[in-house]
């Protein structure tokens, strides 16, 4: 190795070279020192920024942990099987009513807060998670210091550590509300199961989709319908249609359930054998989240025996009602006949009793009129020949107002005679109307019977505050005497005319037209009014017993029914009614001129 030659500093050139080299080295060192300082400053700045970011991130994570409803925790199991909690989030205050520090201080004693019935199972779950290194999931109850129980769910993932310990990073959630809901659901499911069992024991149950195709039927349904379950699946209810109900019935049913409403009713079905049976049905639509039915559950009960009993009872009821109606009609007719007979006898008796004193009055009123005329004439003679009577007589004449008496006496006697004549006419009409001898047919003047009826109804024909007087027009034909039950025919006239008077009560110009004629050996009697008329529905029922359009208490509904029987059965004639709303009503009576006995 050659020795390094030392520079000769005594030589100017050598010294200059050395100085230049040293200056260059110093400059390079300073530059390196400056770069190092700048690099250190940059690293320090970056470290500070990174530290700040970590602080922000840590703060964010801490806030997140503190505000998450669930409790976040770190659980450590060391190599000596000692359990500790290095970290617990602030949710411990809400979940355990303890601060994180209080909970961490408990360590393994925290397991004592677990319900005694679940402590061992929880320890076993932790051991298995540590052994298998799998996520630990477990639900258990904790008991707070207040004694209150709370359901929680733990989910934690284990991580082995270099020191032989195992750390779980987990989350503890309060599931008390969910557990309460689950308990209610279990109870509801138990109730539904019990209800289904009860329904299956007693009722027919079927489920259809939204188009009506069967997706489920129970054993009872198969038993009653006589179909196998496989035969019913996918079928509609048309398979069981007995054709008893009108199409509108099922249209209404579908409109009801498809709108989400429950339908209830009774349906007659046809079993596989062709046998008919009745079911009391309730169909409940199940609605989806869109508000439309997605399936229908029907509960049906076999009511065939009940319906058969109802039909038998209905038939018996109808038979009893018919028998009762016949009995009531016969009783009413008997009462009416007896009443009219008694009334006829009473009227005849009253007419006879009235006729005697009236005859006495009427027989004496003419002589009284003559006597009064003579006395007045005599008084006038006295006044003309003795113009100056004594003062006593003059005073008496003035007190008596003799001039008024002489003028009014004749008028009074004339009024008495007119009233007596009117009473005689009424008595005659009463006797004609009553016909004491109506048990036998007699040859009578029909016009006389009609006139006597009008006489009795005269007070109803007069004007009232509600309407003017009713005009009666008589178009009588030339009729011979007719052999008939006069009293009964008069009753017919009375019933029809009374109804006519009621019918024209609201008519501005009320009128009743009475016409008689003889046609083909028949007497035709027409009674026509210009009242409100009747609808065809009412007209077709007017001869039915007990049918009336009058308010309760104003009619028995038997008048026209009895009139119809009198004309058709007692006189072998016919009674016809023609009417239309707003056109008035016409009754036509046709009686043979010589009707059979």
The side-by-side arrangement of strands in the sheet containing 574-579 is 471-475, 511-519, 522-529, 585-592, 574-579
Single out the residue of 431, 595, 592 nearest to residue 520, CA to CA. Answer: 592
Distances in Å between the Cα of 192 and the Cα atoms of 187, 207, 437 are 9, 16, 84
Task: Tell me 542's DSSP state.
Answer: T
Query: How many helices (H) and strands (E) are present in the chain, helices listed first?
Result: 16, 17
Distance CA 542, CA 586 (A): 13
* Per-residue model confidence (pLDDT) at position 424: 66
More confident residue, 58 or 281: 281
Going by C-beta distance under 8 Å and a sequence separation of 6 or more, which residues neighbour residue 345?
434, 436
Distance CA 477, CA 313 (A): 57
Dump pLDDT digits (tens) for 102-124: 888 887 777 888 999 999 999 99
Distance CA 559, CA 533 (A): 18
% of the chain with per-residue pLDDT over 70: 81
Structure tokens at 367: 């002589």
pTM over 0.75? The answer is no
Single out the residue of 259, 260, 258, 276 nearest to residue 268, CA to CA. Answer: 276
| φ/ψ bin of 546: left (φ > 0), alpha (ψ from -120 to 50), beta (otherwise) | left
- What is the SS3 assignment for 492-504? HHHHHHHHHHHHC
Distance CA 134, CA 125 (A): 10
Per the document, the length of the chain is 597
Between 46-60, 154-168, 375-389, 461-475, the lowest mean confidence (pLDDT) is in 46-60
The DSSP element (H or E) to which 591 belongs, if any, is strand 585-592
Distance CA 521, CA 174 (A): 109
Single out the residue of 223, 222, 218 nearest to residue 231, CA to CA. Answer: 222
Whether the CA torsion 204, 206, 211, 213 is positive or negative: it is: negative
> Would you list the DSSP string of 194-237?
HHHHHHHHHSEEEEEETTS-EEEE-HHHHHHH---HHHHTT--G
Whether the CA torsion 486, 489, 493, 494 is positive or negative: it is: positive
Going by C-beta distance under 8 Å and a sequence separation of 6 or more, which residues neighbour residue 221?
204, 205, 206, 232, 300
Distances in Å between the Cα of 246 and the Cα atoms of 254, 303, 428, 564 are 13, 20, 65, 39
* Per-residue model confidence (pLDDT) at position 343: 54
Which residues share a beta bridge with 207? 216, 297
The side-by-side arrangement of strands in the sheet containing 71-77 is 83-88, 71-77, 166-174, 149-160, 136-143
Distance CA 592, CA 63 (A): 117
3-class secondary structure, 10: coil
Distance CA 537, CA 530 (A): 19
Quick check: 174 pLDDT over 60? yes
* Per-residue model confidence (pLDDT) at position 349: 61
Average pLDDT over residues 41-56: 72
pLDDT band at 330 (very low <50, low <70, confident <90, very high): low
* Per-residue model confidence (pLDDT) at position 460: 86
pLDDT band at 436 (very low <50, low <70, confident <90, very high): very low
Distance CA 560, CA 589 (A): 12
Between 94-108, 290-304, 411-425, 449-463, the lowest mean confidence (pLDDT) is in 411-425
Structure tokens at 450: 């009609």
Distance CA 574, CA 590 (A): 5
Quick check: 73 pLDDT over 50? yes
Between 140-144, 270-274, 296-300, 391-395, the lowest mean confidence (pLDDT) is in 391-395
Quick check: 413 pLDDT over 50? yes
Quick check: 275 pLDDT over 80? yes
pLDDT band at 169 (very low <50, low <70, confident <90, very high): very high
- Mean pLDDT for the chain overall: 83
pLDDT band at 415 (very low <50, low <70, confident <90, very high): confident
> Would you list the DSSP string of 106-133?
HGGGGGGGB-GGGHHHHHHHHHHHHHHT
CB–CB of 561/554 below 8 Å?
no
| First-last CA distance in the chain | 184
What's the angle, vertex CA 316, arms to CA 315 and CA 321, rounded to 5?
95
Quick check: 422 pLDDT over 70? no
**Pairing assessment for the beta strands 511-519 and 471-475 based on DSSP bridges:** parallel
């Amino acid at each position: 190795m050659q020795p390094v030659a030392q520079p000769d500093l005594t030589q100017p050139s050598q010294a200059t070279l050395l100085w230049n080299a040293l200056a260059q080295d110093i400059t390079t060192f300073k530059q390196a020192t400056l770069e190092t300082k700048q690099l250190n400053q940059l690293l320090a700045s970056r470290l500070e920024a990174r530290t700040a970011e970590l602080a922000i991130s840590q703060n964010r994570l801490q806030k997140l942990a503190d505000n998450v409803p669930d409790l976040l925790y770190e659980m450590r199991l060391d190599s000596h099987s000692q359990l500790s909690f290095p970290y617990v989030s602030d949710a411990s205050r809400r979940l355990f009513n303890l601060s994180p520090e209080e909970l961490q201080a408990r360590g393994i004693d925290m397991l004592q807060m677990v319900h005694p019935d679940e402590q061992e199972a929880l320890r076993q779950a932790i051991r298995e998670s540590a052994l298998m290194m799998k996520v630990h999931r477990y639900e258990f109850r904790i008991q707070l210091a207040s004694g209150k129980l709370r359901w929680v769910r733990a989910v934690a993932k284990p991580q082995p550590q270099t020191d032989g310990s195992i750390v779980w990073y987990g989350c503890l959630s309060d599931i008390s509300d969910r557990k309460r809901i689950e308990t209610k659901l279990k109870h509801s499911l138990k109730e539904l199961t019990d209800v289904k069992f009860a329904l299956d024991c007693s009722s027919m149950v079927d489920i259809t989709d939204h188009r009506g195709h069967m997706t489920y039927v129970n054993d009872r349904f198969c038993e009653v319908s006589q179909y196998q379950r496989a035969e019913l699946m996918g079928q509609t209810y048309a398979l069981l249609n007995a054709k008893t109900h009108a199409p509108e019935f099922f249209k209404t049913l579908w409109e009801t359930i498809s709108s989400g409403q429950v339908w209830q009713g009774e349906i007659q079905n046809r079993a596989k054998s062709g046998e008919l049976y009745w079911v009391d049905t309730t169909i409940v639509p199940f609605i989806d989240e869109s508000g439309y039915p997605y399936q229908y559950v029907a509960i049906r009960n076999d009511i065939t025996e009940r319906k058969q009993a109802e039909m038998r009872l209905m038939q018996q009821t109808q038979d009893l009602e018919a028998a009762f109606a016949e009995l009531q009609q016969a009783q009413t007719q008997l009462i009416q006949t007896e009443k009219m007979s008694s009334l006829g006898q009473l009227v005849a008796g009253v007419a006879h009793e009235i006729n005697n004193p009236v005859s006495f009055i009427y027989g004496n009123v003419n002589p009284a009129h003559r006597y009064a005329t003579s006395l007045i004439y005599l008084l006038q003679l006295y006044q003309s020949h003795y113009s100056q009577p004594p003062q006593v007589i003059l005073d008496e004449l003035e007190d008596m107002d003799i001039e008024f008496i002489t003028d009014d006496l004749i008028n009074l006697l004339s009024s008495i005679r007119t009233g007596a004549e009117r009473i005689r006419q009424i008595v005659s009409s009463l006797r004609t109307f009553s016909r004491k001898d109506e048990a036998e047919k007699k040859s009578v003047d029909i016009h006389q019977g009609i006139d006597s009826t009008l006489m009795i109804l005269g007070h109803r024909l007069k004007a009232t505050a509600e309407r003017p007087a009713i005009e009666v027009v008589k178009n009588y034909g030339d009729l011979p005497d007719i052999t008939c039950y006069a009293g009964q025919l008069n009753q017919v006239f009375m019933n029809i005319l009374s109804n006519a008077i009621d019918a024209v009560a609201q008519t501005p110009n009320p009128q009743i037209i009475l016409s008689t004629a003889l046609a083909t050996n028949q007497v035709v009697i027409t009674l026509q009014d210009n009242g409100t008329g009747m609808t065809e529905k009412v007209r077709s029922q007017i001869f039915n017993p007990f049918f009336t359009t009058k308010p309760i208490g104003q009619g028995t509904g038997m008048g026209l029914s009895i009139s119809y029987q009198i004309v058709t059965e007692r006189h072998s004639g016919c009674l016809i009614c023609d009417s239309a709303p707003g056109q008035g009503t016409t009754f036509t009576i046709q009686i043979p001129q010589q009707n059979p006995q």
